[in-house]
């Protein structure tokens, strides 16, 4: 095993990040430096440039800009307010009611918008001040908002599941979407249990109990938003349209809904398009750069070397999954989710498939691992959004975050070692 390419790749990437180089450029430059070990400069520059372009040449990736735009339209289109009102009637009277409302609303918002950032931004802006007014500490509110926002990355439609499908070389997007439901809901349920216990210990006041009439009224108000889930996911699962076509339908549906709710008008559209374009540009640059690193890894046979070394340590499925989970939790601390999925899927997927683990199941394990990373410094993007909206500091949020991290890790353990939680729904639909 030649350690030089691995050392150059890892060390150059860490040094570039430490210097404050943007993640996408750090990935591309470290890939180039790795290639310069093996081939002359001109072919190395050409190969990395071509890989960045070729990495974006995928029909499936067209779904990402559409889902980003639909998420932006939903965020600005009044959908979050209606989902929060519905969640409030369901759990508002329980211990930690507002925290539970935040978690359920984030799950619903994430399921519709497919974006943790959009969910954290919407829920933090709307529920944060309300929680503070009711006596909740802003740090606890921020911690709940940060962790619950990531559940939408498991519950479909989710851009990162599309990215994993691409990186895995053919895992079904429909199967991944179905596989994400139970793990996403389970993670949300564990977060709710911890938030409720924390709120009871701190003595936060209970909300008012809602009547059946109020529940029905808020549900009817939220139905048009929730119906989009049936249209998008139902269409993909039944094969009526692809994920890319579904993303375009989601844009049209959310745009019409925004106009019906009178939250979006022609004056607001240019800014919405600009914001979604900026987000898409960042994501696509990360994808292109990550694909160049994946190619550089393959060229240097690094995935095969790591696979051999890991299986030499142990061929026990339980032990290998523990090692991979620990590595992914560590990776998530220092790397954003999209490049992590694109770079580490080709490394770890051959190992787990040799051990008989389903690629769809492994995709859910990987995404949940990296969701935890989104909530941790120094790179956790959702952490910074949540802290910024709450107008507090990372140091103050760490204490209430820790028990919520424990909840997510318990969910990760169950999902890792009970594959039925991920595979039951996809297999059920196969039988149908």
What pLDDT score does 189 carry?
Answer: 93
User: CB neighbours of 100 closer than 8 A, spacing ≥ 6?
Assistant: 87, 91, 92, 94, 192, 195, 196
What pLDDT score does 207 carry?
Answer: 65
pTM exceeds cut of 0.85: no
Residues in the chain: 432
Alpha carbon distance 103, 412 (integer Å): 18
What pLDDT score does 432 carry?
Answer: 67
What pLDDT score does 129 carry?
Answer: 81
What pLDDT score does 431 carry?
Answer: 74
What pLDDT score does 113 carry?
Answer: 62
What pLDDT score does 2 carry?
Answer: 63
Q: What is the 3-state secondary structure (H, E, C) of the chain?
A: CCHHHHHHHHHHHHHHHHCCCCHHHHHHHHHHHHHCCCCCHHHHHHHHHHHHHHHCCCCHHHHHHHHHHHHHHHHHCCHHHHHHHHHHHHHCCCCCHHHHHHHHHHHHHHHHHCCHHHHHHHHHHHHHHHHHHCCCCHHHHHHHHHHHHHHHHCCCCCHHHHHHHHHHCCCCHHHHHHHCHHHHHHHHHHHHHHHHHHHHHHCCCCCCCCCHHHHHHHHHHHHHHHHHHHHHHHHHHCCCCCHHHHHHHHHHHHHHHHHHCCCCCCCCHHHHHHHHHHHHHHHHHHHHHHHHHHHHHHHCCHHHHHHHHHHHHCCCHHHHHHHHHHHHHHHHHHCCHHHHHHHHHHHHHHHHHHCCCCHHHHHHHHHHHHHHHCCCCCCCHHHHHHHHHHCCCHHHHHHHHHHHHHHHHHHHHHHHHCCHHHHHHHHHHHHC
What pLDDT score does 101 carry?
Answer: 83
What pLDDT score does 321 carry?
Answer: 92
Per-residue pLDDT of the chain (432 residues; tens, 9 = 90+): 567 888 888 888 888 878 888 878 888 899 899 888 888 889 889 988 888 888 788 777 788 888 888 877 877 777 777 877 888 787 767 777 788 888 888 887 766 666 677 677 777 777 778 788 778 888 888 899 889 988 888 988 788 888 899 888 878 888 998 999 999 999 999 999 999 898 888 877 766 677 788 888 888 888 887 787 788 778 887 888 887 888 888 888 888 888 888 888 888 899 989 988 887 888 788 888 888 888 888 787 777 777 777 778 877 888 999 999 998 988 888 777 888 888 889 889 988 998 899 999 999 999 999 999 888 876 677 887 788 888 888 888 888 899 999 999 999 999 999 999 999 998 888 776
What pLDDT score does 111 carry?
Answer: 64
Domain boundaries defined on the chain:
1-55+286-299, 56-264+300-431
């Amino acid at each position: 095993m030649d350690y030089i390419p691995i050392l150059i790749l890892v060390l150059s990437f860490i040094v570039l990040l430490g210097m404050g180089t943007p993640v996408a450029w750090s990935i591309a430059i470290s890939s180039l430096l790795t290639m310069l070990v093996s081939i002359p400069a001109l072919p190395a520059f050409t190969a990395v440039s071509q890989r960045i372009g070729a990495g974006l040449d995928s029909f499936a990736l067209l779904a990402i800009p559409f889902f980003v735009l639909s998420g932006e339209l939903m965020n600005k289109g009044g959908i979050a307010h209606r989902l929060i009102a519905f969640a409030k009637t369901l759990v508002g009277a329980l211990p930690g009611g507002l925290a539970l409302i935040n978690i359920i609303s984030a799950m619903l918002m994430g399921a519709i918008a497919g974006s943790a950032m959009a969910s954290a931004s919407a829920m933090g802006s709307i529920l944060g001040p309300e929680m503070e007014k009711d006596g909740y500490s802003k740090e606890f509110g921020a911690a709940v908002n940060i962790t619950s926002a990531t559940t939408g990355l498991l519950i479909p439609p989710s851009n990162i599941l599309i990215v994993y499908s691409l990186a895995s070389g053919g895992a079904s997007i429909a199967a991944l979407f179905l596989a994400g439901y139970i793990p996403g809901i389970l993670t949300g349920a564990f977060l709710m249990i911890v938030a409720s216990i924390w709120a009871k210990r701190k003595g936060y006041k209970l909300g008012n109990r809602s009547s059946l009439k109020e529940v029905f009224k808020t549900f009817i108000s939220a139905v048009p938003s929730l119906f989009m889930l049936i249209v998008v996911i139902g269409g993909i699962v039944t094969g009526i349209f692809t994920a890319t076509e579904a993303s375009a339908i989601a844009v049209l549906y959310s745009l019409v809904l925004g106009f019906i709710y009178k939250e979006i008008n022609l004056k607001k559209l240019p800014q919405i398009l600009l914001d979604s374009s900026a987000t898409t540009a960042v994501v696509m640059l990360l994808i292109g750069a990550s694909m160049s690193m994946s190619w550089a890894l393959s060229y240097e046979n690094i995935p095969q070397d790591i696979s051999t070394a890991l299986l030499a340590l142990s061929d026990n499925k339980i032990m290998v999954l523990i090692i991979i989970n620990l590595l992914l939790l560590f990776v998530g601390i220092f790397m954003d989710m999209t490049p992590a999925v694109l770079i580490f899927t080709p490394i770890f997927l051959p190992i787990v498939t040799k051990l008989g683990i389903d690629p769809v199941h492994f995709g859910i394990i990987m995404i949940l691992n990296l969701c935890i990373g989104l909530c941790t410094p120094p790179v956790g993007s959702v952490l910074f959004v949540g802290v910024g909206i709450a107008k507090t500091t990372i140091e103050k949020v760490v204490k209430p975050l820790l028990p919520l991290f424990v909840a997510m890790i318990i969910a990760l353990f169950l999902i890792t070692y009970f594959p039925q939680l991920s595979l039951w729904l996809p297999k059920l639909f196969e039988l149908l």
